[in-house]
């Protein structure tokens, strides 16, 4: 495994793919790999791109990758495919759309599921992003569909979140205000070739003007992802946001919040494993009968198991 890590760190795509596969399987080797990878991370700009199904995320990413590569940047992409009926058929389309890039050296594209949490990001997504970072990608793009928890989760991973809106959503903007609107750092109004896009731009701008007390005013950029119009501007806005983070308290706050979440997540995972083992070791005894007959309650059983484990 050490040789694979070594080669991956030098940017070898096949070794990178191997590492991600192992880490995705969440076995014991995953932790060892991550320990070795971690010191090399912290350099990439992690960008989350989210928006409703069909908003044009993949098309936009395709053009964004071209634009970034033209500036000499290396790019890694993680497309999170929720096993959702809305997007079930889109996976192949995404692959085809971005396929031209999968042959480019300097671009690495990987699709991942949302296994585990309902609509959320699977554990491996963050690790995969870290691996791409460690392996020298300047930019790591994470595409998530805004149909579940994943678009909210992406903020835990990304430095910068771009939200794609499209005309014709009408009241959706109102609905979205609650969660995702607050976490977006850059607003993209895609399909600007369609009627109503100026209205969306105007409405989002009005909404943003009402927000006070923030050091970063998210820009609202119309794009036509299909033709590439506006994508350069969007790329510029993303990198401006990165510069803002690097030079502000907000950047430091986000970094700290993320590191806290990282350790918390790992701890939770470890504790869950211990809890499962503790319970498994008990389950053969009379405890289920005691519970069934109400001689014992589950709260006391859990408390007892916990204190036993702590005292060991
Ligand atoms: N008119 C117009 N159509 C676009 C534009 N951008 C993308 N599309 C089309 O919109 C459809 C959906 O594009 P995708 O890039 O697959 O959208 P997506 O957000 O990745 O979709 P999911 O991954 O399924 O959530 C495709 O048919 C695109 O050709 C645009 O700027 N204008
Ligand atoms: Mg897509």
Residue 278's pLDDT band (boundaries 50, 70, 90)?
confident
Residue 259 backbone zone (phi > 0: left; psi -120 to 50: alpha; other: beta) = alpha
Which residue's C-alpha comes closest to atom 1 of ligand 1?
A: 191
Question: How does pLDDT run across 205-244, given as a tens digit for each residue?
Answer: 988 888 877 889 999 999 999 999 999 999 999 999 999 9
Mean pLDDT calculated for residue range 154-179: 75
Residue 143, strand partner residues:
49, 79
Question: How does pLDDT run across 51-107, given as a tens digit for each residue?
Answer: 888 889 989 999 999 999 999 999 999 888 655 333 333 444 454 455 555 556 667
Which residues of the chain does CATH 3.40.50.300 include?
41-247
Which residue's C-alpha comes closest to atom 21 of ligand 1?
A: 54
What number does the ligand 1 atom closest to the CA of 59 have? 15
What number does the ligand 1 atom closest to the CA of 81 have? 23
Helices (H), the chain: 2-9, 13-24, 28-37, 57-70, 90-102, 123-134, 150-157, 172-177, 180-183, 197-210, 231-246, 249-282, 287-292, 298-311
What number does the ligand 1 atom closest to the CA of 227 have? 31
CA angle 274, 276, 281 (to 5 degrees): 95
What number does the ligand 1 atom closest to the CA of 192 have? 31
Average pLDDT, the chain: 83
Stated pTM of the model: 0.86
Does 194 contact ligand 1 (Cβ within 6 A)? yes
In this structure, which ligand is nearest to the CA of 77? 2
CATH code 3.40.50.300 for 41-247: yes
53 or 176, which is more confident = 53
Which residue's C-alpha comes closest to atom 2 of ligand 1?
A: 191
In this structure, which ligand is nearest to the CA of 193? 1
pLDDT-above-90 percentage for the chain? 47
Does 114 contact ligand 1 (Cβ within 6 A)? no
For residue 120, what pLDDT is reported?
Answer: 52
3-state class of 26 per DSSP?
coil
């Amino acid at each position: 495994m050490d040789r694979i890590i070594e080669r991956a760190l030098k940017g070898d795509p096949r070794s990178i793919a191997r590492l991600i596969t192992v880490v995705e399987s969440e076995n014991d080797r995953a932790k060892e790999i991550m320990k070795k990878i971690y010191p090399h991370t912290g350099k990439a700009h992690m960008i989350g791109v989210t928006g409703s199904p069909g908003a044009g995320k993949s098309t936009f990413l395709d053009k964004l990758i071209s634009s970034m590569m033209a500036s000499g940047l290396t790019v890694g992409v993680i497309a999170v495919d929720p096993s959702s009926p809305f997007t079930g058929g889109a996976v192949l389309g995404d692959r085809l759309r971005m396929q031209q890039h999968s042959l480019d050296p300097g671009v690495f594209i990987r699709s991942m599921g949302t296994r585990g949490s309902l609509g959320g990001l699977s554990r491996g997504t963050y690790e995969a992003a870290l691996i791409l970072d460690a392996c020298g990608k300047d930019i790591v793009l994470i595409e998530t569909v805004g149909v579940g928890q994943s678009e909210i989760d992406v903020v835990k991973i990304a430095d910068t979140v771009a939200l794609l809106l499209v005309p014709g959503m009408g009241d959706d903007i109102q609905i979205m205000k609650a969660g995702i609107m607050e976490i977006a750092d850059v607003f993209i109004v895609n399909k600007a070739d369609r009627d109503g896009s100026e209205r969306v731009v105007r409405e989002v701008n009005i909404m943003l003007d009402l927000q006070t007390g923030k050091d970063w005013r998210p820009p609202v950029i119309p794009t036509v992802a299909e033709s590439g119009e506006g994508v350069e501007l969007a790329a510029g806005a993303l990198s401006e946001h990165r510069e803002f983070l690097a030079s502000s308290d907000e950047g430091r706050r986000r970094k700290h919040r993320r590191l806290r979440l990282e350790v918390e997540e790992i701890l939770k995972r470890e504790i869950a494993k211990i809890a499962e083992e503790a319970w498994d070791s008990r389950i053969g005894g009379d405890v289920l009968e005691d519970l069934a007959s109400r001689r014992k309650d589950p709260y006391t059983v859990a408390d007892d198991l916990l204190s036993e484990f702590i005292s060991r």
